[in-house]
Amino acid sequence: MNNIISPRELHTALQQPQQSIILLDCRFTLGKPEAGSDAYQNEHLPDAHYLDLEKDLSSVATSHGGRHPLPDVQKLAQKLGSLGINADSRVVVYDEQNGMMASRAWWLLRYIGIEYVQILNGGFTNWKQSGYETTKSVPAASPQTFVPFVQQDWGLAGVEYVKENLHNPNVVLVDSREKKRYLGLEEPIDFVAGHIPGAIHSFWQDVLTSEGLWKTDKEWKEMFFAIDSHAEIIVYCGSGVSACPNVLALKSAGFPNVKLYAGSWSDWISYRDNPIEKNR
């Protein structure tokens, strides 16, 4: 299954009576927590339900765990079940942030056992520019009982695991933030600048074309050609959200062992004795 679906492909699939697709609108603007919900209330894809990054796709931040800790699995499953989703559902997620929020949803749904999850290429903007219908109507749901089954091999890394593997030549750390943040030249969000020692840099938006569409599997393979295909790859960002597009690209490119460090940089620096590196 392709992880990405075009507006045309989605529109065609939605016209098929035998197809049952649940759409999830994941639009969210960091620093403006109500903007995504407001955008959804104003206009969204027909029959789409809304998932909020901070209320649904994250848990409350504490002293450790980063700015967007993963949500409680049971709570997320209950939310998804209330929207009519179970483990056998076909789900398409979208946002308006170049796939960043949608990728977080994609990763989480796959992690808790939903296999058929795709991201709408180009998100809400591409759908609308393609001339397809939008609506203000909030759909009714047919609640399902969703029993989550965490996919341990899907790949999740915690802070201790990262520390244990800092000098492991078979483990590659990938920092997904902007280059200036990686280098420690500036840090507009967190209280410490720099990166985890030994991490290489690959800005998450580089998995997209200049038009904001997802690149192909072949292009991703070329992007990550320098990484050993047998290596274990741990991807992080600031808070475990913008790392997810890189996780998707690496997995789609055929790398078999890719993990998300969900707490990411904001978790790493919450432990004052953790080493940091700068390349000023």
Residues designated catalytic: 237
Domain identity same for 45 and 74: yes
> Would you say residue 64 has pLDDT above 60?
yes
Task: State the CATH number of the domain containing residue 131.
Answer: 3.40.250.10
Tell me how many domains the chain contains. Answer: 2
132 burial via Cβ count (<10 Å: 0-12, 13-18, 19+): middle
Report if residue 188 sits inside a domain.
yes
In a domain, 54, yes or no: yes
Q: Which residues make Cβ contacts (< 8 Å) with residue 222, sequence separation at least 6?
A: none
pLDDT(257) > 60 = yes
Same domain as 260, residue 248:
yes
Q: Are residues 57 and 13 in the same domain?
A: yes
Residues 6+ apart with CB under 8 A from 127: 7, 10, 45, 94, 120, 134
Distance CA 49, CA 189 (A): 30
Is the per-residue pLDDT at 42 higher than 90?
Answer: yes
State residue 106's pLDDT score: 98
Domain span including residue 261: 155-268
| pLDDT at 238 > cutoff 70 | yes
Predicted confidence at residue 280, as pLDDT, reads 57
**Who contacts 87 (Cβ-Cβ below 8 Å, separation ≥6)?**
113, 114, 115, 146, 147, 148, 149
What is the DSSP-derived secondary structure letter of residue 41?
Answer: H
Please measure the distance between the N-terminal and C-terminal CA atoms of the chain and give it in whole angstroms.
Answer: 42
Of 92, 124, 151, which one is at a domain's C-terminal end? 151
- Residues 78 and 159 reside in one and the same domain: no
Is 278 within the bounds of a domain? no
**Is residue 14 in some structural domain?**
yes
- The pLDDT score that the predictor gives to residue 91 is 98
Write down which residue in 113, 131, 151 finishes a domain. Answer: 151
Q: Based on the domain organization, do 146 and 162 belong to the same domain?
A: no
107 pLDDT band (50/70/90 cuts)?
Answer: very high
Cα 139 to chain centroid distance, Å, stands at 25
The answer on 15 and 145 residing in a single domain is yes
